[in-house]
Each structure stands twice: as C-alpha cells, then as structure tokens.
Chain A
Amino acid sequence: NAGVTQTPKFQVLKTGQSMTLQCAQDMNHNSMYWYRQDPGMGLRLIYYSASEGTTDKGEVPNGYNVSRLNKREFSLRLESAAPSQTSVYFCASSEVETQYFGPGTRLLVL
C-alpha cells in the first residue's frame, strides 16, 4: 500500500516548455487534489476531482489543466511553463474527513 505517489520528484523547465505531473493513489479514494505550496502562503488549491470523470477549478487554476484518467490517477499539465509556476506541487486524495498527501514535486521554471 504505497498511499499517494507523485512523479517526478524534481524538474527544471525553461519558460514555454510543457510538462505533466503524475499522481496516483491506491486507497480507492474518490476525491483527488492538486495544490501548490509557496513560502509563507500555505497550500493553494489548483484543481480537484470529486470523482472519476469530474474536475473543478480551485483557487489558482490559471496556467494549468488536469485529467482524471481513472479512479487512481490524476495528472496536472503545464502547457507553457512560466517562472511564476516555480513551486512545490502536492497531490492529495481523500476519504470523507481526511486527506493524504504525496511527497511533492519540486518544479523550477527558468
């Protein structure tokens, strides 16, 4: 039981490049989330998915797209990376009252 896994752990991009962050959970949770963490700002919700086949915008969705491929997997795509997207990205999944987090992806956009 691995919980929530994320790949890659680290990534460096140039401005304008695209990439997809992968997330998978093996806990059979319906809800999955993508957050970004910036110093002094806590976690801000980018997108979430309440169930397979549905996605909704969070607080900071601009510049991102998501895909809920199946119940296990929820990916985050940056179509044209910008330096403002330099951050640590966390995926999470949840049961009714608790969220479980992945280890994070550290992204640097030059």
Chain B
Amino acid sequence: GEDVEQSLFLSVREGDSSVINCTYTDSSSTYLYWYKQEPGAGLQLLTYIFSNMDMKQDQRLTVLLNKKDKHLSLRIADTQTGDSAIYFCAETLRDGQNFVFGPGTRLSVLP
C-alpha cells in the first residue's frame, strides 16, 4: 500500500541549515507537500511541489524532488528557533482526493 516515511527527529544549531528527508511509494502522486505543526496547533501548509518539477524555492525553503528514487527533501536555510516544530511530508494519491502523511519529523533548533 501507499506509505510515506520520514526520520522522526532532527536537531540543528541556530543559523545552520536543516534538511528533512522523506520517501514515498506512489509513483503517480501528482503533488507532494510539506506541512509544519507547532505545539498545540493544526497543520500549516508550508510549500508543495508538482511532480514534474525537480526543485522549488520559496525564501528560506528549498524543496528537492527525485522522482526516480521517490525522495523528497525540505531544506531550511538559516534555521531559527521559531522553526522548531514537527514537519510532515505528504503526497496525494492518484485519485487526487486522498492525502497520505508521513509520521512527521520533530525539528529541534538549539541555541
């Protein structure tokens, strides 16, 4: 079945770059997403990439997509303490209605 995998934890120092990785299984996914969840809050869409793109940049965020390896990454440049949160990778299935989420990566930013 469809599955999205992520490592559960990542720690970085303030000012360094963070790279959060994700692998997915549905090769027909149309869109792939990164969501951010702060403590006690819902999920906030950070960015998404269409499956025919390799890269998307939005200010401090860079998304890289390797379709051959079904690998998605999110790079956060100049990581700040406010970036501490759980980051979820997600894909849409071929029906376009269902979203499958990874378990989330908890990013801790150390001073």
| List of A residues within 8 angstroms of B102 by Cβ | 42
| List of B residues within 8 angstroms of A4 by Cβ | 42
* B67, chain A: closest CB distance, angstroms: 17
- Give the contact-size bracket for chain B: 20 to 34
Q: Indicate the member of A42, A92, A101, A103 with the most B CB atoms within 10 Å.
A: A42
* A101/B43 in contact, CB under 8 A: yes
* A108, chain B: closest CB distance, angstroms: 15
Partner of B41, one of A43, A48, A100, A104: A104
In the assembled complex, B45 has its CB within 8 A of some CB on chain A: yes
CB under 8 Å from chain A, chain B span 18-72:
30-31, 33, 35, 41-45, 48, 50
Known A97-B48, A104-B41; contact A42-B31, beta-carbon cutoff 8 A: no
In the assembled complex, B82 has its CB within 8 A of some CB on chain A: no
In the assembled complex, the Cα of A89 lies from the Cα of B83 at a distance in Å of 24
| List of B residues within 8 angstroms of A48 by Cβ | 97-98
* A50/B97 in contact, CB under 8 A: yes
Q: Which residue of A lies closest to B42 (CB)?
A: A101
| List of A residues within 8 angstroms of B111 by Cβ | none
In the assembled complex, the Cα of A104 lies from the Cα of B35 at a distance in Å of 15
The 5 closest A-B pairs by CB, nearest first: A101-B42, A42-B103, A42-B101, A43-B101, A101-B43
Q: Please give the residue numbers on chain A whose beta carbons come within 8 Å of chain B beta carbons, in ascending order.
A: 4, 31, 33, 35, 40-45, 48, 50, 58, 90, 92, 94, 96-104
What would 22 A/B residue contacts be, using CB atoms closer than 8 Å? Answer: A31-B97, A40-B103, A41-B103, A42-B103, A42-B104, A43-B101, A44-B101, A45-B98, A48-B97, A50-B97, A58-B98, A90-B42, A92-B43, A96-B96, A97-B30, A97-B31, A99-B45, A101-B44, A102-B42, A103-B42, A104-B41, A104-B42
